[in-house]
Amino acid sequence: MNRETAIQKATALVEQMTVEEMASQLRFDAPAVERLGIPAYNWWNEGLHGVARCGTATVFPQAIGLGATFDEALLGEVADAIATEARAKYNQAVQDGDRDIYKGITLWSPNVNLFRDPRWGRGHETYGEDPYLISRLGVRFIRGLQGDGEHMKTAACAKHYAVHSGPEALRHHFDAVVSQKELWETYLPAFEACVKEGQVEAVMGAYNRTNGEPCCAHSYLMDEVLRGKWGFQGYYVSDCWAVRDFHENHKVTASPEESVTLALSKGCDLNCGCTYQRILDAYRAGMLPLEQIKRSAIRLFTTRFLLGMFEETEYDQIPYEVVECQAHLALSERAARESVVLLKNNGILPLNKAQLKTIGVIGPNANSRAALVGNYHGTASRYITVLEGIQDYVGDDVRVLYSQGCHLFKDREEPLAQPGDRLSEAKAVARHSDLVILCLGLDESLEGEEGDTGNAYASGDKRDLALPESQQQLLQTVVETGVPFVLCMMAGSAMDLNLASESAAAILQTFYPGARGGKAIAEILFGAAAPSGKLPITLYRSVADLPDFTDYHMAGRTYRFLKAQPLYPFGYGLNYGDAQVTAAQADAASYQALTQHGTTLTVQLKNRSQRPAEEVLQVYVRVLGSENEVPHPKLAAFQRVTLAPGAQITVSVPVDAAAFSTVDDTGARVFDGTGAALYVGFGQPDDRTLALTGKPSVEITIGQ
């Protein structure tokens, strides 16, 4: 069904409603209108990395792990699987008359905010810190959720619009102040791509204000940009209870009725929360025109018609059996394998189990289900932790000793014991092992959304990059044993890896790898699979290198504006193979040609090892001769490549013309350079990446 037809049907239906009925449909928990044959519908559902909060579903790696795959095609497959399971669960729920929350087919995902500061607790819901990477993965994820059928498979939602990335504790009254240059250079590109390329059906407004106006009632962002410049035609939804913040926290209105009037006047169609229960009060007081209520109702029913809610669709026969089916579980395991980033390897990996008698597995995340899934997750019927993955892989061939080592964040595991009550056991396990797999990090109780779990940091954010004190003591204890150890850092954000980078034999950044992520990690440890993920974020040495958390200016943040050298850079990740870019050529001969058509690179690659190499080819661009260019070359293209042992291949990599533009102080995207430098390799063209990999990027200069 095309949108024009859906709008016509929605308009005809809404025209039959009373104002009371229209108003009721602007709540997330819209009641039935029985006289018109409209069933109740709860709009609130989540599909960040699997259908969430509704019982059993395939639990894929958390979004930050999906970002580490740098794999657009994979994101499309994952999203399609999520949409399939959402439809299956919806079909069954409707059949059983269950219209409860989290059972609909409007999925409030993906989160395409930019991970600007590693302290932000919700950063692991995002795809990372680069606007281009987020854009490419977000667009593909949206297309996977919405499908290409006659009806939408599910309706995706790009959130949280816009300029939103913490602090969580301040979000209900915080004003994120940014320049027009930073707005259009950093904070809006992913949303623009999701709307214009992905045709996303919904956009969710953020809690905070941006440059003075609340994001759920923002004249510039919602009216001028979203529906004006970008031509967005879907529905706009508030973050949950954000409209209430207008009068209670932002103080831009004096009453719920004023908040309702402001939100609807700016085009916030759907209220996740309770404030829109006051729509009729505002209407009867003469504050709110009927046409604004009707406009939002038509938009919402347009979405419902596009989803085919009032007729038969091609998705009605999706059976319940697709939920957590073997194909989806295999896809989840593939995503987990692609998401793991090898940060350091002194040659200990991959492990050879034939040469091992005893392995020690230590750490509070070694046997933790919570450390597999991040937040906004569903429930798996089976979890495979790192400990279980290793035990399953080695079987009876290798003895596996285990110690939790410490509580995730408390100073003792047993309430009546003394502090550090598991450290001596960890020391014993290490001393009786040939090597140790040490699993540290966080879970959703330590980094997440404000109020999610009542975590140790109250707001959901981190205070700094340090591990909890209990884990710092455990790490030091393992280091002091002198036993070789491999660190698996299971966290959704940058952590302090300074000591580990000096002392560990190898480091894997596993993020939150999904319900069966332990199997994928074991396969990588033992070489049945190779690590191929790349960092979608910068791993900083210290928060001392960063501006204040509340400062939304980009100077000193993320790889594009970094001033201090990182510990591990964005785009970095090692491999068991040894691929190299041997040559690269561009088909454009002038800067003018780049600005008009972009370019296609012909890249020659060689695997110099006898191991297969799966790599992520990356292209970075710096516009020359422009005062508007960001300080460091920016990601402009990426492509996964696989090389057999000793193989030589040639690949073509398109680079869009937009990569050769900059953003001026007014927020306009301009082509003001005199030339461009392109860097082709397996990471950034920076000194730290070169020092870690020993592989320089191939540079191509055009113009200048």
Gyration radius of the chain's alpha carbons: 26
SS3 307: coil
Catalytic residue among 80, 117, 239, 443: 239
In the beta sheet, which residues pair with residue 176?
A: 210
Containing 617, the helix (H) or strand (E) segment is strand 613-624
Share of the chain above pLDDT 90, in %: 98
pLDDT digits (tens, 9 = 90+) for 257-279: 999 999 999 999 999 999 999 99
Tokens of 249: 């926290």
Map tokens 């596993």 to a residue.
510
Tokens of 117: 């500061």
pLDDT range class, residue 454, cuts 50, 70, 90 = very low
How far, in Å, CA of 47 to CA of 85, rounded?
10
pLDDT digits (tens, 9 = 90+) for 60-93: 999 999 999 999 999 999 999 999 999 999 999 9
How far, in Å, CA of 17 to CA of 674, rounded?
60
At 459 the pLDDT is 61
At 704 the pLDDT is 73
Active site residue 551: no
How far, in Å, CA of 669 to CA of 122, rounded?
29
How far, in Å, CA of 45 to CA of 270, rounded?
14
Instruction: Tell me 696's DSSP state.
Output: P
pLDDT digits (tens, 9 = 90+) for 136-151: 999 999 999 999 999 9
Burial class (CB in 10 A: 0-12, 13-18, 19+), 395: exposed
Share of the chain above pLDDT 70, in %: 99
Instruction: Tell me 527's DSSP state.
Output: T
Map tokens 């080592």 to a residue.
405
Per-residue three-class SS string for 541-591: CCHHHCCCCCCCCCCCCHHHHCCCCCCECCCCCECCCCEEEEEEEECCCCH
Write down how long the chain is.
704
Contacts of 700 (CB under 8 A, 6+ apart): 584, 585, 586, 601, 677, 678, 679, 680
Tell whether the model's pLDDT for residue 228 goes beyond 70. Answer: yes
Task: List, edge to edge, every strand of the sheet that includes 358-362.
Answer: 341-345, 506-509, 485-490, 435-441, 358-362, 399-403
Check: CB of residue 292 under 8 Å from CB of residue 265.
yes
In this structure, what is the dihedral angle of CA atoms 298, 300, 302, 303, given to the nearest 10 degrees? 170
Among residues 369, 397, 374, the alpha carbon closest in space to that of 526 is found at 397
Tell whether the model's pLDDT for residue 39 goes beyond 50. Answer: yes
At 455 the pLDDT is 46
Q: Which amino acid is at 173?
A: H
pLDDT digits (tens, 9 = 90+) for 540-581: 999 998 999 999 999 999 999 999 999 999 999 999 999 999
In the beta sheet, which residues pair with residue 175?
A: 209
Average pLDDT over residues 418-446: 97
Contacts of 159 (CB under 8 A, 6+ apart): 108, 109, 110, 111, 112, 113, 203, 204, 206, 239
